[in-house]
Amino acid sequence: MTALKTDSTLRPVRWDADIRPHGALVLLDQTRLPDELVSITCQCSKSIWNAIRTLQVRGAPAIGVAAAYGVVVGLDESRPDDQSWQTNVGPVCDYLAGSRPTAVNLFWALNRMRRRAEQLGHRTWTDARTALLAEAHAIRDEDAAMCRAIGRAGQHLIADGAGVLTHCNAGALATSEYGTALALVYTAAEKGREFTVFVDETRPLLQGSRLTAWELERHKINTTLICDNMAAVMMAQKRIGVVITGADRIAANGDTANKIGTYSLAVLAAAHEIPFYIAAPSSTFDMQTLDGSLIPIEQRPPEEVRTIMGKATAPPSVQVYNAAFDVTPARLITGIVTEHGIIHPVNVRNIRSVLGLNERITPIA
């Protein structure tokens, strides 16, 4: 574990080729924020699985990138003279896919790595590793480019003097860099606009207060932290002009899974006639899942609700329901900001048109 130098560009997932013997995946440990800025080095697939599962790396795009590099790390666990490397790729992908069930970017990235391995045929271990590492780099670089494009596509939704409400963390920490929902914020700020971002604390793990507020403060964005249950009052006081969140999986009809509490904000926004936007790359769309009722929702440990940062806040024996995500119906979403443009209104036809899909429903990747 090493301290990280403060940098204007946050890169929570990166490959360090200088770490012996083959290089390693380096992750910013987000469970340590905002107190400490430290990294963890992953040189086995188990460590990457644990990092995804325990939220040391989190955010749909970021865990997809981490998993892609995880395939290379899994290959490094075999012998360089092992000519059966291809039979090892599938089990590594299956193993990493079991880390978390909801964010579709994880499966999208792993399927892309599987297909690349299949294309390599009977190449040597060395050639295969070089090609798969290049594919993982490409996934990372494409994600960063998509985030920048999302920012350009949606920055105009944030007017000068506006109040922007966001939930959980959909910034650089959740992606390769720059972010999805926060990409709009950063791009609007780069254009000289002044506005306030209201950050929901996001119980139970406080990704809003621990991560988003920290990230926005680093960028010197005017930020106000609020409790989750303050959103309605802020809307009634007309302090919120637009709500923008990220997404972990978007079904073919536009129903969107995101951090628990997002659905509540969409209902409140509709009641107060405030536009509600999702910002997500095309890799977050799951065109094989027809609607939100079919999206698997992760259940997390009860201790996350019974405690706050390790301190007990409830009886240890009380029953807990701890769904990590909820699903916002497409009818409550004003638009989805993608690297290809804004999908508005949100329906099957517009989704397929903006994303450039064929008539037949097929996966994005």
Of the candidates 172, 320, 334, the one whose C-alpha atom is nearest the C-alpha of residue 269 is: 334
Catalytic-labelled residue, pool 248, 255, 286, 326: 248
| Element housing 325 (H / E) | strand 325-328
Strand bridging mode 163-166 / 196-200:
parallel
* CA torsion, ordered 190, 191, 194, 199, to nearest 10 deg: -50
CA 349 remoteness from chain centre: 25
Q: What is the DSSP letter of 4?
A: P
d(CA 252, CA 104): 12
Based on its alpha-carbon atoms, the radius of gyration of the chain, rounded to whole angstroms, reads 20
Report angle CA 351, 354, 358 to the nearest 5 degrees.
75
Strand bridging mode 285-286 / 249-251:
parallel
Report angle CA 63, 322, 147 to the nearest 5 degrees.
30
d(CA 230, CA 209): 14
Confirm if 12 and 173 have CB atoms less than 8 A apart: yes
User: 248 an active-site residue?
Assistant: yes
Q: What is the DSSP letter of 6?
A: P
Q: What is the secondary structure of 167-189 as a DSSP string? A: -S--BGGGSSSSBSHHHHHHHHH
For the annotated catalytic residues, the residue numbers are 248
